[in-house]
Structure 1
Amino acid sequence: MEQLVFRAPRETRGGRSWPVFLGALVELTPTPGGLALVSPYHTHRAGDPLDLVALAEQVQKADEFVRANATNKLTVIAEQIQHLQEQARKVLEDARRDADLHRVACNIVKKPGNIYYLYKRESGQQYFSIISPKEWGTSCPHDFLGAYKLQHDFSWTSYEDIEKQDAKISIVDKLLSQPVALPPSPEPNFQGLTH
């Protein structure tokens, strides 16, 4: 990411470094707005040279604040990008896993909402069964690899995550069953989203 650099230039005069004023001074006119000034001397006289230094320092300070604000906003955006990249990576991993699980051998028609148990034969073939290792007991003929629930969108949820996933689906179902899914208020309303 390219860095933004805001610096007021400096020049050396009389052995000291002075900021160079980059801002513009208001142009001088003897009759501003078509009106003659009572005392043009007081409006056109050369001011204290430190006033120019103060103006240059103010411009430099403003540049520093602009840089800090831009940096803060870009940091938030970078964090959001990282979060979105992580979500995209997880979506791709889940899609790959779901596709692989749908290709596993199975002699029954898989129905959403059911839990299927993944086993591996000595030959290396993986297959789904509706019989759990607990039901097999000690006579389980093959290696147990894991259990998965087939969701209604045909994605798979590992056994360890079923409760958490069901809770998420329950929250979404509550939202969808309300007469108005989105509150009319512009303020966020999280009522009913927590247990």
Structure 2
Amino acid sequence: MDRSVSLPHQPNKTTTVTLVETSSNPSGMVLVSPYQTNRVGDPMDLVSLAQQVQKGDEFIRANACNRLTVIADQIRYLQEQARKVLEDARKDAELHHAACNVVKKPGNMYYLYMRESGQRYFSILSPREWGASCPHKFLGGYKLQHDMSWTPQEDVEKRDAEIGIMDKLLNRQTALPACTEPNFEGLSQ
């Protein structure tokens, strides 16, 4: 049985309270006084029930909003990650298409130069090795990784350390018995 109730502090808003259906013969048992079990009682009890329903609705809404906010933050983070992946892929492709007269091998450093004509090319000689006779504008040094991505020279040490940690993780995890929790013990040493 549904009852609409106006709350004292919100007279223009009604809340619907659902009461348990009444029966003079619940579960086949005849009641001595159905009036005593089915009466509505004090009207303030109905208001209290309505307030409780409304409070529940407010909490559910707040909880849903909080959870949706977390999801929205995760979506923004994933979108940013996707942009970064696409940008890195674009840069890597650009570097792979630079002119080069040597076969590029993963793990080696290559140095990008630009001729006066605008042609970009890789060399195995660094500007320091060229010395004062460096013939073209130096654009940057890059290490070709084993996944065929490029790491700028200034990030090589950091990237190598990250790869080292992942190698340790992979080596340690295969030597350990099956475990439900990740084991990062000793990886930062």
Kindly state the Cα deviation for residue 183 of structure 1 after the two structures are TM-superposed.
Answer: 7.0
In structure 1, the residue corresponding to 2:16 is in which secondary structure? coil
Q: Give the root-mean-square deviation of aligned CA atoms.
A: 2.4
Residue 96 of structure 1 is matched in structure 2 by: 90
CA distance in 1, matches of 2:7, 2:50: 14
Which segments of 5 or more consecutive residues in structure 1 lack a partner in the other structure? 1-8
TM-score between both structures, scaled by the size of structure 1: 0.84
Alignment of 1:53-92 (within 5 A): 53-92=47-86
Rounded Cα–Cα distance in structure 1 between residues aligned with 2:14 and 2:38: 21
Alpha-carbon deviation of 1:175?
Answer: 2.0
Partner deviation per Cα, 1:23-73 (whole Å, 9 max, x = no partner):
310011122222233443331223111111111111111111111111111
Question: Which aligned runs of 4 or more in structure 1 are off by greater than 4 angstroms?
Answer: 9-13
| Residues 7, 51 of structure 2: 8 Å contact kept | no
Letter in 1 for 2:151: T
User: Equivalent of 1:31, from 25, 43, 48?
Assistant: 25
1:158 to 132, 145, 152: 152
Superposition pairs for residues 1-195 of structure 1, below 5 Å? 17=11, 19-178=13-172, 180=174, 184-195=178-189
| Alpha-carbon shift at residue 82 of structure 1 (Å) | 0.9
Task: Specify the alignment match of 1:4 in structure 2.
Answer: none
**Greater shift after overlay, 93-102 or 129-138?**
129-138
**Alignment CA distance shift 1:183-1:59 (3 Å):** farther
Counterpart secondary structure, 1:137: helix
Partner amino acid, structure 1, of 2:144 = L
Q: Structure 1 pair 132/12, CA: closer, same or farther in 2 (3 Å)?
A: closer
Report the identity percentage.
65
8 Å contact kept, 1:105–1:128: yes
Does the Cα contact within 8 Å between 1:118 and 1:146 map onto a contact in 2?
A: yes
TM-score, normalised to structure 2, is 0.87
In the alignment, the residues of structure 2 paired with residue 148 and residue 115 of structure 1 have an alpha-carbon distance, to the nearest angstrom, of 6
Whole-Å separation in 2 of the counterparts to 1:188 and 1:179: 9
Cα displacement (A) at 1:180: 3.1
Q: Unaligned regions of 5+ residues in structure 2, if any? A: none
